[in-house]
Amino acid sequence: MFVSEDQGMVINELTAMRDNSQRVVDSYDAHKALRDKCDALLLALNPEKQKELAQARELSELRGQLDEMKQMLSAVLGTNKKEK
């Protein structure tokens, strides 16, 4: 927050704030890529973390398959009820 009687100073301050924010926005992709690379390196260096990640992926896939089976069963049972 700033207070000024001079409109030029307010404009300069707002311009500086905007420029700083633009630099942050412009560097987002680079920092995201760097974070992803660090995550990959940390994962490569930690076999326990690799195992946890593999288990999480497998659990997610199994949950997806279970949801599909529930939908198919519901559709089959719904069809059978309509036929009776």
Let me know the angle formed at the C-alpha of 43 by 63 and 34, rounded to the nearest 5 degrees: 110
Q: What is the pLDDT of residues 31-84, one digit of tens each?
A: 999 999 999 999 999 999 999 999 999 999 999 999 999 999 999 988 766 655
User: What residue ranges do the domains of the chain occupy?
Assistant: 1-45, 47-84
Q: Please give the pLDDT value at position 84.
A: 57
> 74 to each of 30, 40, 78, 81, how far by Cα in Å?
47, 41, 6, 10
Query: Binning pLDDT at 50, 70 and 90, where does residue 4 land?
Result: confident
Query: Binning pLDDT at 50, 70 and 90, where does residue 26 land?
Result: very high
